[in-house]
Structure 1
Amino acid sequence: MNELFGIPLTAIMWALLVAFGACLAAVAAISLTNRTMFRVGLRNIPRRRAQSTLVVLGLMLATLIITAAFTTGDTLDYSITSGVYDNLQRTDLRIDFRGEGGGDAAPGQIYADAAVVDRLSAAFADDPDIAGFFPFLFEPLPAVNRDTRLAEPAVVLAGIDPAALARFGGLRLAGGGRPDLAALGEDEVLVSERAANRLDARPGHTLLVYAQGQPHALRVAGIVKDELASGVVGFGGPDVPGGMAARLTTVQRITAHPGQINSVSVALKGEGRETVTRSGPAAQRLEAFLDSAEGRAALGLGELRARVDTSKADGLKQAETFGNLFTTFFLVLGLFSIAAGVLLIFMIFVMLAAERRTEMGMARAIGTQRLHLVQAFTTEGMAYNLLAGAVGAALGVLTAFLLVIGGTRLVAGEELAFMTPHVTARSLVIGYCLGVVLTFVTVVISSVRVSRLNIVAAIRGLDDHRPREGRHRTRWRWVLLGLPALLVPPLGLYWLLRKGFGLPWAWIVGPTGLVLGGLLMALGKASGQLFPFSLGISLLPLAAAALAGYYRAPARLTWSAVGVFLAVYWLMPGGLHDRLFGKMDGNIEMFVLSGIMIVTGSTLLLVFNARLLTYLIAAGRPGAVRTPLLLAALAALAAVLGAALGDRGGGLGQLCYLLAVLIASLAALSLAALRFPRLVPAFKMGIAYPLANRFRTGMTIAMFSLIVFSITMMSVLNANFSALFSGEEARGGWDVTVDTNRNNPVPDLAATLRDEGTFDPGVIAEAARTTGNLGVQEARVAGNGDWQRYPVRAGDDAFFAVNQAKLDLRARGYASDREVFEAVRTQPNLALIDILAVPNNGNVGAGPDLFRLTGLTTSDKEFDPITVEVRDPVTGRQGTLTVIGVFSSKIPQRVLFGLYTNERSYATIFGPPEYRRFYLRLQPGANGEAVAKGIKAALVTRGVQARSIATDIDEQMRLGRGFNRIFQAFMGLGLFVGIAALGVIAFRSVVERRQQIGMLRALGYQRGTVALTFVLESSFVALMGILSGVVGAAILARNLFNSDAFTGTSRTGFSFFIPWGEVVAFVAIAYLCALLMTWWPSRGAARVPVAEALRYE
């Protein structure tokens, strides 16, 4: 890759190297100017090696995520680039032909005189970029291996000029070396590896190829590598047919095209990647020559048109695009984990400061300044950081290779078999430096925070009770410095307001947040963008709460209100938001922002109100048995309500089930306390101690919640979309598609099957025909905009008369889908179009150069008929069609894609249609996959390709589920942050509470009770984070799924559901891993000797 977000990666690398150097310089300056604090910072690292290991593991995650994302992008870029070069070899440009009378013919289906190559060579003999031309005749033909009895319905037979191809490298043998093309006989063929594997062909075998129903025998002269010259047009995926190369005269004789070719390859000067830089200028000169009357006359093209194809340059550009896309996608997915990692870094240094609080207080008492403490912590953090960055970069590459790339190949199989692991030094530098710089900034900020302490309270081991900060005196020197520094707003505001006017932090943060929030809301409303508006409205309560806290407002009430506001705002249905604030647009950035804000709101509610859980643990209290009974009754009521709602309410029943599970869990906790009263002290301690330190507990809950939220959201949405788009409606009312071969036409499928005699066509209930993937038509809304690519297809009468496909949108004036189909069948110039042409936020798959309708969106139900101009850009034929219906978005593009009109309207614009695709509806009870295989076997010598639509959809859904698992696993890496945080907390708790443990043991607590207390503390934190993430994600996913703007399709007959199996599985895994991490320190706490702990200093 060369760019990310439009910025050159080399520039990003150098900028990060400068920032990394600045970080090192800052630590080096500490070493030179204050060596004592430098050594104080470093001496703490080897003291507790287990803890230091956990710290390194926690700090490495940001680097791991970033490096894995860049490695994935590098691999895709490298793999696609290598595939393009391997397949095209010296074909840098291609020239295809179009005919005046063949407007519906795709490239390769119009033939030109082979003498065109010699005329081109003469015309461009002195061209500075073009090295030469060599011809091809590509023909898809069925092939049968007479020796092994294996057959392939479609193999591309490439006719080559041995002498011309040899001048530009020739072909490559599979076992190494190059074949002697001059020695290739008239009845011999070189078979590509792909075709050889499918036909089990070996040198000396005889292959039969069929053209116009007649067999032609060819002897296998050798096995060559897959490339364009050996007939393999493309790479990757099982749908790419194998190829064979024979003499040009041989292919011309077999296909009855004597003296003709259908493609010319252009080799540019230079070697390897050097030729790509010449592609643009050479293509422009060629196009100008081919479009000119003089050029066409010189080449003797007559009525033919020629088009220059820049497939190599386009393929390399596509590699760059895919690399950028996947890097960005994985970076976005990793933002939750990176955010959790930042919280962990902050929390680690807060805990390290808490451990050394007395030591820090004594140091301050003897003259150490706050800056010195910052220097010590910064030094220690940088030492951890450098090691964590190296470990994270290495593990990031390993993660990308094993999880992302290995998992992708495992899921997709042959589709992505071309992927080759690859990482560049530049990506490693960016990943390492970005991770280190991000961690260093967090370390410095946390160091500044922990350096602020009350000296007396710290020495005595007491909590800080800071009086309310007042305003300091104005220092005009800082005011004067701050004014020009406003060019860098954060620094300028700090110098001006804090250092200059001496304002307390609350007076800066509160009003600034309120003003910024208001400005962001105004910006969002003005631009119609949801991101700034939602961010602004979320900042308002947070800033107000910070200001209220300064004036001693009740913390629990204030922050609970903020939590409720954030939860209500971010979990409200989209329709209600539109009615309250107006309709605004959002994209994938809302996924990240919504997750952060929902987690913030739920965390505030939990840390300020979770103490209420202790009221459920009421063993020994009169009437205590009522609590679990009441909770059990409420859980049963929620479950009954969920069952009663069923599929109604857009998934409200599923949320009721989730509520029932939560209440039942509380009932089980209360019942356990009642049944085992000896465990009550452990239960209460397990809740009370984490809430004694809200900051630490809140950050750990937020870490777990962020990751669980992201995984749950992806799991729930993927499960619902898979179910929505894999139902009966997705088949479009058909069961099997049959694509025919142009060299062996099948005008009547049923009659041809009866003639073959091996397959009974009686299983076919209905059949219809359309034109296949022919031509490259263009379209635009009448009189508006530029021409853009979009296929125009003709359908016969049966295609519209018996079509049962659903329509998402209908033009006004049509009461039913059947009326629309009948109108298109019987009236001139009416058309249907697939959903890809309808604008929709997040409509993935529609390229920027594809035609889009205007004046409607996928959330509309009706629209005014839209007049569309269509044309063949080569022949210039042009006409108009009126779109009156849009096919269901549940129908995949492989089944229906393009503008569909009747054959009479099509013929008026493009000429008589050539039908190549059959749609079959089968008799009830017939198996689509078995029928497709039967048709393919019966007509294998005619090159027919038959596919079961249901099987294709199931395969597509399987791939979707597989990729979803990979994305979930990638995001699940962030769980290591939460687990590492619990481990750090558990280790620190044992040290901090050593005397408390001794006192509890002296009062009669048993070892098991002490160990259980620590386990329950970790369980409380982990479960609160997990449940917060699951509940928030489930509600938000339900709201999104019930939004027409988000799904872009009808959900009639379908209701939102939660994939309980998946959710329970990863919740259980996360919780068990958290317990395992806290088991070791819990055992250590239980083994603390009582007398030794009480004497602990």
Structure 2
Amino acid sequence: MLILLAVVALFAVAFIIISMLSDRITSKMSFRNIFRRRANTLLVIAGSMIGTALIVGSLAMNDSFERFIYSQIRQNLGEIDQVVVTSAESERGYRALFSLDELQPLIELLETENLTDGIMPILAREVTAGKEGNARSLDRSLSTSAAIIGVEFEKLREFGSEGISFTEFNSSNAQDLPGAIITRELSETLQIGVGDTLEILIDEAERVLFWIQLPRVVVTGIADHEDLLGYSGLRQGMENSRIFMTPEDARRVMKVGMPDSYNELLISNRGDYLSGANLTDRVVSLFGETGLEEEFRMVPIKQQQVRMATQGNVGLLFFALSAFAIFAGILLLSNIYFMLAEERRTELGTLRALGYTRKRVARAILYEGFFYSIIASAVGIGVGILITRQILGGFVDLTAGISMLLPVDNAAMMFSAFERTFVFFIKPESVFLGFFLGLLIPLAIVSFSGKRISMMNIVCAVRGIPEELGKKPRRQLRLFMYLLLGLAAILCYSGAVRQSGAVLLSGLTMGLLLFPLSFPFKRRRLIESFCSIAVIFLIMFSNQIPFIAEQSAESIPLMIVKGFAILFSGLLLVVYNLKTFDSVFSLIMRNGNNRSPAAKVAIAFSSRNRLRTGLTVAMYAVVVYIITLISIIPYSQEKMLDKSRNDVFIGFDATVFPVGMQSRLPSETELLAIGGIDDVAVLESAFLNIRLPSGRISTIPAYILDEGFSENTVHRNITLWEGIPDLAQARQNPWEYLITRNNAIIVSGALLSDLLPGDYVELILPARTDFSAIQAVFSGREEVSDDDISLGYFRVIGQIPETTFSFFNGVFIPKGVIDSDLLAGSYVDSTMLLKTSNELSLSDTRTEVANISRRTNSLAFFVDDVIDLINATVKGIIDILRSFLYFGMVVGIVGIAIVMFKALYERKRLVGMMKAIGFTRRMVFTSFLLETSFIVILGLVLGFITGTLTTYEMFSSPAFQGFELSMPWNQFLFMGLTFYIISVLSTLVPSYIASRLSPAEALRYFE
């Protein structure tokens, strides 16, 4: 598309320049028009510039968010696409070692197929690193979690399409210890530099065995995160603190006696860090052909990360917002140049009367539009980039504010990665696309308008009389409409056959809206109004169609189609009924006061210039529509979050959980010694497989409840099974019932929405207990092996609603369900839940708990902290998005200002006639202000209504099932009044000038 636009733009510019050089009289005339009314010229250029800036800014915002979404993948994985590990685990829970010769069949096959550009074995392990003599310390300033990566540095330099360049490695040192390159994050955390000695704690059991000497390494280099492999090993997740050394030194430090041994094989597919994932399915298929599946497992880690990054459709969501903003910019450009053409119609008709050919008349307006658009497009790119850069800088400031809300000492460091990866970014393609759109849209409009005017009857053009379409143009227009109706029918058929909601609704919307325009109906306005209302009803009830309801939860294109359909239908409904507004208003004002004539004139002018009024109304409506959407959704979420306070920590007031190898939970005695803590419960969790009634198997977290749990929980927002009368009639706490039974469970609808109370499910303890069990939850991988242990079948006695906001989502089971011996070998986490009392103030209790958690290197969160954090995050993001859209609202304000300034020049003679028949200055001034008010209020109300209808439709879809719609009426009232007042103020100058015109001067006016 960009190449096509570039070719068209270059051809258009070359054609216009050559044409101007060959017809210097017309080009000089067009050039002089620019300086005849400088205020008017300034408004045209400013409006064009803002339209281009809005387009470029929207593209830049979308590019920046898209880059941020994938930057974490690039930072943590680089060009690693697959990881091969053994199927078995070592004694300590880490992947078993293997020799590179064992994977030689796979390596040779991949090299033969030419699918990869890097294959590299590594030896990875999570350890505790500290200053010499301090690795056993729990003080985070003396020791910290890190990942050892044993890698051949020559292979590292050649890995991937670009390779990895870093500080030259030199393992030799005076102490004859293994040398290592460490990341700058580790250097800053431990305050160590080149030449310092680093002590490594491999096994946590050796933390208390003080007589065992821990291995040491010498720091030979420090590298930034970007200069090293970002990967930290499959089990560890993504650690920024990493220690790189040769495989031989890594085996020496880890006390591995097996030579030429590794525990992971990293594979980079051909292509860059993102496109390489497209070859993952082929590589995995080749792995299956090697016969290594029994001993080894290939993890498509890049593909999993990409799916996790895109499953929320954040990038498409911002693209949707950008699409509406771009549309608003296009509307402004269209409105400006349509008005310019209308303003020049009399002059162009005069040129025709003087003997100019139709081509020269059309070129006169084309040259003038070229002057305006070339300047505005160039300046608009810079303005759009500067404004978007400033707005996106607010996201980094937002993270600093959020980090202040976290009860963590190094919260700022935790967000440093965000600040480092979230930067302003715009693709060169987006810059050119914005420039070409800002240039070509005006040229297309003035070219079309100039040709249309040149074909008009000379008398109609000079006198400004609308000309009826001839038979041939009318026939051509009708044929074009038939073609569009045929396209709509094809879309409907294709959408129905493929069961694509976006395609089907696009076809139905296009067909219904174009149907009245394609046939010579006598009451076209009534039919078009009926069809517009039909489209709105169609969209509002579209979720009654099963496959559309299913796709509404995930398909961003479908959401965009629904939004555009409601907005366009509302616009057409309003524009086609402008004369109805005029008739109704005239009827109301029939017996009005002295202001009635001014009001009638204001409404009459708006309804007569339907295209101009429609475009201006659309500019306001589009921006207000988006603002309405992004105001209602977070406001409703905030209200639901406030109602879910008791559900966040399943009825408790605070939680304490460990983080990292050095962390431990505080003792219950320590916490109960605080006066503000009333009770403490320990919640253990493990990952289980659950076989649903449909036969599908999912990996989910299971929370194991002890006997003291039900005494304090007030998490009663549960849909209960009616098969147990005591529960159904609320005679017994469901949590108490659950703990006393070994065949009952409660599930979270957030993870298991299709599981209903009363269903029977099978719980399975997976034999796989490594870190990949956690990844299975997010990647959607469903697998079960013969080594897994069935725990039996369980009755679902209750479901926590899907819309409940909670930190603990999964399946809740009593403690006796899993034998402690079986649980000992699983990946188990423990979390402490705290119930506060009124003995101490909440701030004092928070301080005491924070002090204890700091000593144990654990994290403590209170419910209010979580709610404040989420609300601050959502509000901050929405406010930043609003600020961009408020810039978009300038589109409407500039548009209405241009409309009124041009109305002033167009109606000078009419103003003189009005004053000659008795209109006072006040009445003229009032008519201009009322015309502004009518257009602005119409746009604001239309935007609010269509935005509210779209939001209501979204909340009725399965994706928002259970959410309550809450309307921020105060925000809407304040925003509407603000936009209205600013818009009216922007038209005070032309209104005042019009009211001060002398009748004699105005009647003599002619250009």
Structure 1 stretch displaced more, 939-948 or 246-255: 246-255
8 Å contact 1:795–1:901 — kept in the other structure?
A: yes
The one of 600, 613, 623 aligned to 1:707: 623
Is 1:600 matched up with 2:602?
no
Partner of 1:483: none
Partner of 2:934: 1020
Please report how far the alpha carbon of residue 451 of structure 1 lies from its aligned counterpart in structure 2 after TM superposition: 4.7
Please report how far the alpha carbon of residue 214 of structure 1 lies from its aligned counterpart in structure 2 after TM superposition: 4.1
User: What SS is found at the alignment partner of 1:599?
Assistant: helix
Superposition pairs for residues 385-404 of structure 1, below 5 Å? 385-403=373-391
- The amino acid across from 2:567 in the alignment is G
Partner of 1:890: 803
Superposition pairs for residues 569-584 of structure 1, below 5 Å? 570=536, 574=540, 578=544
Partner of 1:407: 394
- The amino acid across from 1:340 in the alignment is A
Is 1:591 matched up with 2:563?
yes
Superposition pairs for residues 27-106 of structure 1, below 5 Å? 27=16, 44-60=33-49, 63-76=52-65, 99=88
8 Å contact 1:769–1:799 — kept in the other structure?
A: no
CA distance change for structure 1 residues 401 and 165 in 2, over 3 Å: closer, same or farther?
same
CA distance change for structure 1 residues 240 and 406 in 2, over 3 Å: closer, same or farther?
farther
The one of 731, 736, 748 aligned to 2:654: 736
Please report how far the alpha carbon of residue 51 of structure 1 lies from its aligned counterpart in structure 2 after TM superposition: 2.8
Is 1:1029 matched up with 2:943?
yes
Q: Distance in 2 between matches of 1:1061 and 1:543?
A: 38
Instruction: Give the aligned CA root-mean-square deviation in angstroms.
Output: 5.6
Partner of 1:456: 459
- The amino acid across from 2:859 in the alignment is Q
Is 1:361 matched up with 2:337?
no
8 Å contact 2:173–2:179 — kept in the other structure?
A: no
Partner of 1:486: none
8 Å contact 1:153–1:945 — kept in the other structure?
A: no
Partner of 2:994: 1085
CA distance change for structure 1 residues 394 and 874 in 2, over 3 Å: closer, same or farther?
farther
The one of 1030, 1044, 1049 aligned to 2:962: 1049
- The amino acid across from 2:399 in the alignment is A
The one of 429, 432, 436 aligned to 1:429: 432
User: What SS is found at the alignment partner of 2:882?
Assistant: helix
Superposition pairs for residues 744-783 of structure 1, below 5 Å? 752-754=667-669, 760=674, 763-771=677-685
Please report how far the alpha carbon of residue 993 of structure 1 lies from its aligned counterpart in structure 2 after TM superposition: 1.7
The percent identity for this pair of structures is: 19
CA distance change for structure 1 residues 806 and 95 in 2, over 3 Å: closer, same or farther?
farther
Q: Distance in 1 between matches of 2:326 and 2:764?
A: 49
Please report how far the alpha carbon of residue 609 of structure 1 lies from its aligned counterpart in structure 2 after TM superposition: 0.9
**What's the CA shift string for 1:178-208, capped at 9, x where partnerless?**
7865449779998755466667778989999
Is 1:609 matched up with 2:581?
yes
- Structure 2 segments unaligned to the other structure (5+ residues): 112-116, 159-165, 401-414, 553-557, 769-782
CA distance change for structure 1 residues 600 and 337 in 2, over 3 Å: closer, same or farther?
farther
**What's the CA shift string for 1:726-772, capped at 9, x where partnerless?**
432541323333333675686xx67x242x58953881535142225
Please report how far the alpha carbon of residue 588 of structure 1 lies from its aligned counterpart in structure 2 after TM superposition: 1.2
8 Å contact 1:94–1:263 — kept in the other structure?
A: no
Number of residues of Structure 1 aligned to a counterpart in Structure 2: 929
Please report how far the alpha carbon of residue 591 of structure 1 lies from its aligned counterpart in structure 2 after TM superposition: 1.7
CA distance change for structure 1 residues 888 and 234 in 2, over 3 Å: closer, same or farther?
farther
**What's the CA shift string for 1:922-965, capped at 9, x where partnerless?**
13447888756644532545443333344224322322222222
The one of 895, 902, 917 aligned to 1:981: 895
- The amino acid across from 1:890 in the alignment is T
Q: Distance in 1 between matches of 2:284 and 2:492?
A: 49
**What's the CA shift string for 1:92-133, capped at 9, x where partnerless?**
87565665698xxxxx942646xx578779999999666754
Q: Distance in 2 between matches of 1:870 and 1:386?
A: 68
CA distance change for structure 1 residues 725 and 688 in 2, over 3 Å: closer, same or farther?
same
Please report how far the alpha carbon of residue 975 of structure 1 lies from its aligned counterpart in structure 2 after TM superposition: 2.0
Superposition pairs for residues 925-1004 of structure 1, below 5 Å? 925=838, 934-935=848-849, 937-940=851-854, 942-1000=856-914
Structure-1-length-normalised TM-score: 0.69
CA distance change for structure 1 residues 121 and 982 in 2, over 3 Å: closer, same or farther?
same
The one of 91, 94, 102 aligned to 1:110: 94
Partner of 1:9: none
Partner of 2:404: none
Q: Distance in 2 between matches of 1:318 and 1:67?
A: 28
- The amino acid across from 1:458 in the alignment is A
The one of 337, 340, 352 aligned to 2:325: 337
Partner of 1:1096: 1005
8 Å contact 1:75–1:422 — kept in the other structure?
A: yes
Q: Distance in 2 between matches of 1:963 and 1:21?
A: 39
Q: Distance in 1 between matches of 2:548 and 2:140?
A: 61
CA distance change for structure 1 residues 319 and 741 in 2, over 3 Å: closer, same or farther?
closer
Please report how far the alpha carbon of residue 918 of structure 1 lies from its aligned counterpart in structure 2 after TM superposition: 1.8
Q: Distance in 1 between matches of 2:218 and 2:40?
A: 67
8 Å contact 1:78–1:422 — kept in the other structure?
A: yes
Superposition pairs for residues 107-256 of structure 1, below 5 Å? 109-110=93-94, 112=96, 116=98, 133-139=121-127, 151=140, 155-159=144-148, 182-183=172-173, 193-194=184-185, 211=204, 214=208, 224-225=222-223, 227=225, 243=241, 245=243
- The amino acid across from 1:347 in the alignment is N
8 Å contact 1:337–1:974 — kept in the other structure?
A: yes
Q: Distance in 1 between matches of 2:447 and 2:718?
A: 55
8 Å contact 2:904–2:994 — kept in the other structure?
A: yes
Q: Distance in 1 between matches of 2:287 and 2:545?
A: 57
Partner of 1:646: none
8 Å contact 1:726–1:957 — kept in the other structure?
A: no
8 Å contact 1:287–1:308 — kept in the other structure?
A: no
The one of 416, 424, 427 aligned to 2:418: 416
Q: Distance in 2 between matches of 1:934 and 1:145?
A: 27
Q: Distance in 2 between matches of 1:819 and 1:261?
A: 59
**What's the CA shift string for 1:587-619, capped at 9, x where partnerless?**
31212221222233234445531454466668x
User: What SS is found at the alignment partner of 1:725?
Assistant: helix
User: What SS is found at the alignment partner of 1:791?
Assistant: strand
8 Å contact 1:733–1:804 — kept in the other structure?
A: yes
Q: Distance in 2 between matches of 1:308 and 1:138?
A: 21
User: What SS is found at the alignment partner of 1:790?
Assistant: strand
**What's the CA shift string for 1:980-1020, capped at 9, x where partnerless?**
22122122112112223344556676656644543343233
Please report how far the alpha carbon of residue 915 of structure 1 lies from its aligned counterpart in structure 2 after TM superposition: 3.7
- The amino acid across from 2:9 in the alignment is F
- Structure 1 segments unaligned to the other structure (5+ residues): 1-11, 103-107, 171-175, 297-305, 473-497, 625-673, 840-852
